[in-house]
Structures are given as structure tokens and as C-alpha cells.
A and B are shown apart, each in its own frame.
Chain A
Amino acid sequence: EPEVTQTPSHQVTQMGQEVILRCVPISNHLYFYWYRQILGQKVEFLVSFYNNEISEKSEIFDDQFSVERPDGSNFTLKIRSTKLEDSAMYFCASSTGGFGANVLTFGAGSRLTVL
């Protein structure tokens, strides 16, 4: 079964450092998403991406965050200057998109720990 692949599985970084989280979405999917889950809390939407541009973003997705699809297969989330409160599990998801039942397939997540 096709799956969404995320790397790294766990990253530890110092506050203020830049972090890039990588995702390989399912190959025929057109919509890509980043979500995050702070330990013990709900899964929160960060950003959606379609046709090489951001289609929607949440209040969490401020200027410190950026997304990119650099080569047609990878989808990255960059946090420019990490804060302690950025510590969370970050999930990438993809879907065929469109209307109706938009089924998102999630990756296993990248755990980010900011010290």
C-alpha cells in the first residue's frame, strides 16, 4: 500500500536553529499538508499546498515557517529559527484532493525536540 514517508523520524535541535523536515508524498497525490501534534494534544493543521503554492495556512504558520516542493517528489517544512514551543510531532499528509471525500494519508511523523 502506498505510504507517505517522513525524515528524520526524530530531530533534536537548539533553540534558534533552522530545521528542515522532509516528506515524500504518495506519487499520484496532488495536495500536500503539514500538521503538528504537541504531546498529548490534538492534531493541528499548519498548511496545505497545491499546484506549487500554499492554498491555506493556519495562524500557527507564521513567518518562521515555510514549505517547498523543490524537486517534484519531496515536500519540505522549514522552521527558520526554532523556539521551545515548536517541540512537537510534525505530520506530513497527502491526498488526491478535490471535492467530496478528501482522504488524507499521513506519514509516521517527525518528532522535533527543541532544547
Chain B
Amino acid sequence: QQQVKQSPQSLIVQKGGISIINCAYENTAFDYFPWYQQFPGKGPALLIAIRPDVSEKKEGRFTISFNKSAKQFSLHIMDSQPGDSATYFCAASNNQGGKLIFGQGTELSVKP
């Protein structure tokens, strides 16, 4: 019940295209859903996050869509750029603490 399932494992997108990464969770106590971006040799860095009281959050080219009833959330990267090539992790935590449960990660490659 603590798991966060992420798909796809890898994704190749052409420059300018839309990248979509999906996550699903089981624990209804989760109420904070961040996405982290990780470049090789670096630690994960917060990209964007959402609380379950909204269905969508947009920051620049990055959008999180959240479906509370389905217990799913997704990251959309519009106008994908080669510089977006990285591993993306979805995560979840509950209100009581900072322990983040991470998904398996998606390796995104944006081709020029």
C-alpha cells in the first residue's frame, strides 16, 4: 500500500513533442505529490508538486494532472527540449512527515 507505480520506464520524444509520465498510488493518506528531476551524477531536484485539492498545476512547460478518484497523477512536459533529458521520479508522502515514497523512475530522452 506504500507503493507508487510509475510508467513508462523509458521514453523517447522528439524535440518539441509532449512527454507524458504516469504514476499511480494506493495509500489514500498520501496528500503531497512531487515530481523530481535527476540528471546523471546529481541528486533528485524538485520540479513541481501538487496537493490533492486541485486537479492540475502548471509551471511553465511542466503540468501535473491529478485524478484523486483514480489515485493517479501524471507529468506532462510540453515542447520537450534536449535539456529535459533526465530521469523523472514521481513521489508521494502524507501530511505527517517528509518521508517520500518514490516511483521507479522514467528515463526521458528528447531527440533533437
Contacts and interface: CB of A to CB of B under 8 A. Distances in A.
The B interface is mostly helix, strand or loop, or mixed, namely loop
Contacts of B44: 43, 91, 106
Contact residue range for chain A? 20 to 34
Interface residues of B, number: 24
Contacts of A93: 43
B84 to A, nearest CB: 19
Contacts of B49: 101, 103
B105 A48 contact: no
Interface string A34-77: 00000001111100100000011000000000000000000000
B103 A42 contact: yes
Nearest to A3: B43
A107 interface: yes
Contacts of A55: 97
A104 B45 CA distance: 8
Interface in B58-112: 89, 93, 95-105
B104 A45 contact: no
Given A41-B104, A102-B93, A56 B43 contact: no
Interface of A: 4, 31, 33, 41-45, 48, 55-56, 91, 93, 95, 97, 99-109
Interface of B: 32, 34, 36, 41-46, 49, 51, 89, 93, 95-105
